[in-house]
Amino acid sequence: MPDHIKFFESLSGAGKAIAVLTSGGDAQGMNAAVRAVVRMGIYVGAKVYFIHEGYQGMVDGGDNIKEATWEGVSSMLQVGGTVIGSARCKEFRTHEGRLKAAHNLVQRGITNLCVIGGDGSLTGANLFREEWSGLLDELVQQGLIDAEAAKKYYALHIVGMVGSIDNDFCGTDMTIGTDSALHRIIEVVDAIMTTAQSHQRTFVLEVMGRHCGYLALVSALACGADWVLIPEMPPEDGWEEQMCQKLSETRSRGSRLNIIIVAEGAIDRHGKAITSSVVKDLVVRCLGFDTRVTILGHVQRGGTPSAFDRILASRMGVEAVLALLETTANTPACVVSLCGNQSVRLPLMECVQMTQEVQKAMDEKKFEEAVKLRGRSFENNLKTYKLLAHRKPESELPHSSFNVAVLNVGAPAAGMNAAVRSAVRVGITEGHKMFAVNDGFEGFYKGQIKEIKWGDVGGWTGQGGSLLGTKRTLPAKHTEKIAEQMRKHNINALLVIGGFEALESLLQLYDARSSFEEFCIPLCMLPATISNNVPGTDLSIGADTALNAIVETCDRIKQSASGTKRRVFIIETMGGYCGYLATVGGLAAGADAAYIYEEPFDIRDLQANVEHLTEKMKTSIQRGLVLRNENSSENYTTDFIYQLYSEEGKGVFDCRKNVLGHMQQGGAPSPFDRNFGTKISAKAMQWISKKLKETYRQDEGRVFANTEDSACLLGMRRRALIFQPVVQLKDETDFVHRIPKEQWWLKLRPLMKILAKYKTSYDVSDAGQLEHVERNRPKETDASAI
């Protein structure tokens, strides 16, 4: 075992008591966080308690504070809201209320609190922690506890997780519930678009966000809305005329609908509220368009949590328990946050103070500062939206006279169309002439290339599959014909959007540079595959949509067995040799096991899994879920595993099997994939523009780029979006099995096993360390992913 790897066995929770509560507004995914805290807490040997009804339950005590059991959190992963209840509590704001709460906790020996809520809930928890020793002294004076108890429980440790659909907490890229709320909004927008198109209507949608415009901004980006109004960046004076002009232009270009998204806290530059009805009246008065208002309200808080929120909450819940085990009396209260694709711990009050600074900046009408304080993610969202939604007049565009081609390669992935739309519009804004290639490299060598304009990609964001058409054909056998087409159309740069085939294609074009100068141009690849098997990136466009399809189906399959006898479902997922979908889908769906190629297994492992599941079935759970990646083993097929479980489980449970197949590849893209595709594509086009200027030879009047760094993949690595030369990715790749040699998500497998009650080792060497809030991160992070 390597010396640098630190396992959490050294962090024992024996003798400790942890309490978990949800406070403030509810958010989808809170139950996944509660489940993770309970199971991880029990796993490390701690006693774990539920505090029902938030701080009110802590003050009231009694049956509101109950010990949690492993079985008690079964079947809550897919439930929205919070099953342990949440309530706003005026009494906890008083000293007397907090004294009662302290008494109730000390009686049960609880000195570790895991609080899931917004900034108000977390600020209250920190105040409680600061007063703790004084409260215990008072309880001793009043004779309610003895001096020995006060000495034993002298310190209160607090870890927070942010549960808020508004994503209004500084320090984390995403709060629990935000992604699910975006799912609700986008479902409604997609449905409204069809009726709006039928009647040539304008729809004004009001979404939640009293003080934060994140939901409005990101949903506008995800559906390609014509106009968005948010509190952080009120429109300039005269916006009414500008908006009406924009709507009118959109209609004149042939569009049959307009979508305007308004955050409930939207204001103008003078602090006057801009409501959805104000916007509607304005459109009717100035343009005479048939206009309707839809206020989404609490629909956004409801429904099942998305795959992203379940995984985020599960990771945060486990991280919160680890943080509590490592904390000392001098450790400040921390909040578990997401930075890029990594869990981090930040001092709670630093985050709260920065969150309050945003509101202060807005109150003082320092709107630019408010946007910056919201973080790089928010700022980048706003810039990207402006870039894509508002077309500059021809006279204002730079004239670069460069031709850039965009194409899709490999299997279709949801979000590809959003990436193409973004590339086309950013390219046009940069002054380039954009060309679309149909049917990948097969269409390329056949000459299926045509210019694509701004209006041609309208409405593409929400479309699944690949509207350009995509094929698995690689360019190596057709380089001569492709080079001829590039000469014919004078292509100066290439953007390839696709999966593993796209990587192989770029490597082949790079190798062909020595024979054909036509390929000595900037080449950029965006990873887009449901398998998430491309080296150089943690995430690929399309993987989130596929995960949601898997999780939604698993929920339905499990529900089909409710009220029947005990049943185990064997589910086969796609992914080739990459076990990402099986593993992460298993974590999000609450699977008992997930078989993948990267973690070899034999008959003894299968036998151990069956016995483990049989034991659980006898004592607690009614339904079991086992996922298997399609290529996990040549001999241990889905049929074999199904028959083995059926035979070994006789008398305890029966079995059913499902092969999910191509439903994982279809459907409308998730909000995450729409935005990830949109934003990395915009970044790629800006990189291409930069490279074109750098490599243009004035004396020869052409572009010439043959260095390694002119053929890159844009990927998300841990905390940053990075351009990596494809040649350098060769050593990181297993070309036989079409997977990266190292994959970050394998670290999630022990977490899935722990939550399924297996004894295993969990590597905490990569766990979050206490950091400080950065006002300006040096690089754009995966916050930019959504």
The position carrying tokens 């992070």 is: 781
Count CB atoms within 10 A of the CB of residue 704: 12
Phi and psi, residue 231, nearest 5°? -70, -30
* Per-residue CA distances from 218 to 63, 232, 544, 647 (Å): 41, 13, 16, 50
Amino acid identity of residue 730, one-letter, is K
Q: For the purposes of burial, counting CB atoms within 10 Å of the CB of 598, is it exposed (0-12), middle (13-18) or buried (19 or more)?
A: buried
Question: Can you say whether residue 303 is alpha, beta or left, with left for phi > 0 and alpha for psi between -120 and 50 degrees?
Answer: left
648 alpha carbon, distance to own chain's centre: 39
* Per-residue CA distances from 766 to 320, 322, 634, 641 (Å): 14, 12, 33, 33
CB distance 632 to 626 below 8 Å: no
- Dihedral, CA of residue 258, residue 264, residue 268 and residue 269, to nearest 10: -130
**CB neighbours of 131 closer than 8 A, spacing ≥ 6?**
95, 98
- β-pairing verdict for 334-339 and 112-117: unpaired
* Adjacency order of strands within the sheet including 567-573: 593-595, 623-629, 567-573, 654-659
- C-alpha radius of gyration, the chain, whole number: 27
Phi and psi, residue 351, nearest 5°? -65, -45
> At CA 224, angle to CA 553 and CA 365, rounded to 5?
115
Q: What share of the chain is helix, strand, coil (3-state, %, to 5)?
A: 45, 20, 35
Catalytic residue among 26, 60, 166, 226: 166
Sign of the alpha-carbon dihedral angle for 759, 765, 768, 769? positive
**Is-catalytic flag, 166?**
yes
Phi and psi, residue 439, nearest 5°? 60, 40
- Catalytically active residues are 166
